[in-house]
Amino acid sequence: MNFDTTFVLNMLTAVLLIVVAVVLYVNYGFKRKVNIKGKHVLISGGSKGIGLEVAAQCFQQGAKVTILARDENGLKEAKKYICSKSETKRDSEVIYFPVNVSKDYELLETIIQKAEDELGPIYGLFNIVGKAVCYRFLETPLNDFDDMIKVNYQSTVNCTRAVLKKMVTRNEGFIEITSSMAGLFGIYGFSAYSASKFALLGFAQTLAMEMKPHNISITITYPPDTDTPGFALENTTKVIMNFSLFARLIFIFCSILFKY
């Protein structure tokens, strides 16, 4: 019997995503709603891609916004874009700092203090710094594994630690941690990236338990492929898979369904 392989794969992927959503809801439920109007939020990786759009959305909802990234020119352009999303002139409520959050922890702490001095206590943190490389395991340079941990995991740890001390004393706040669909199940060609994103789940679950008595909400998100500059760069190294993807998707589907 003839069948359209692409259609079957797309349908199976759709069913898989639905099952993942149900499993996440059953395990974690809906988070409490957060009103950020007039509050100060910090976005790491806020100069482009998902981070930039999150910053713009927060600003539209009335939040004061601090964005962090490595490229100062990119941050300047990002501020213009974010400010353009408000109907009223509130340019002074968007500030930025160039910093490598995966390495410069002492500088990061200094920046957090400066940001709070200017815009007030940080109420929310969005950890969106991240990058991906895609090679088969035996073709992946060893330094890429170290790089993925630093960028995708250590960046989140550093930013979270830098803001959390004061959040605890104020007994309020929220922290968002950005993982990936590759942080839910392994994906062919992403051994370095996927492992770094899996680490974030353990971090988020542990942190959620520790912060619950302090009224601090911890949320982890799993964005799929998104049209961003980072995704475009990822595609330059992406491995082409063969028909074994079909068998792999079936395995993933069954693993989540029956919790193997």
| Both structure tokens of 53 | 């759009």
Q: What mean pLDDT is predicted for residues 243-248?
A: 50
| Structural element, H or E, at residue 226 | none
Phi, psi (degrees; rounded to nearest 5) at 73: -65, -40
Q: Please, what is the Cα angle at 44 between 41 and 50, to 5 degrees?
A: 95
> Is 114 an annotated catalytic residue?
no
> Model confidence at 174, in pLDDT bands (50, 70, 90)?
very high
Q: Which of 123, 191, 197, 222 is catalytic?
A: 197
Answer yes or no: are the C-beta atoms of 253 and 16 closer than 8 Å: yes
Domain ranges of the chain: 31-241
- The closest of 96, 114, 80, 89 to 46, measured between CA atoms, is 96
Instruction: Count other C-beta atoms under 10 Å from residue 94's C-beta.
Output: 25
Residue 242: the pLDDT is 46
**Active-site residue (options: 193, 194, 196, 222):** 193
pLDDT greater at residue 247 or residue 182: 182
More confident of the two residues 133 and 62? 62
CB 22: neighbour CB atoms within 10 A? Answer: 12
List 179, 180, 191, 196, catalytic entry: 179
User: Catalytic annotation on 197?
Assistant: yes
**Rounded to 5 degrees, what are φ and ψ at 215?**
60, 35
Residue 133 pLDDT: 83
Reported CATH class of domain 31-241: alpha beta
pLDDT digits (tens, 9 = 90+) for 64-121: 999 999 999 999 999 999 999 887 888 999 999 999 999 999 999 999 999 999 999 9
| 103 included as an active-site residue | no
pTM for the whole structure? 0.77
* pLDDT above 70 (res 255): no
Query: pLDDT band at 205, cuts 50/70/90?
Result: very high
What is the per-residue pLDDT across 105-159, written as a single tens digit (0 to 9) for each?
999 999 999 999 999 999 999 999 988 888 888 988 999 999 999 999 999 999 9
Q: Output the pLDDT for position 248.
A: 54
pLDDT score of 52: 95
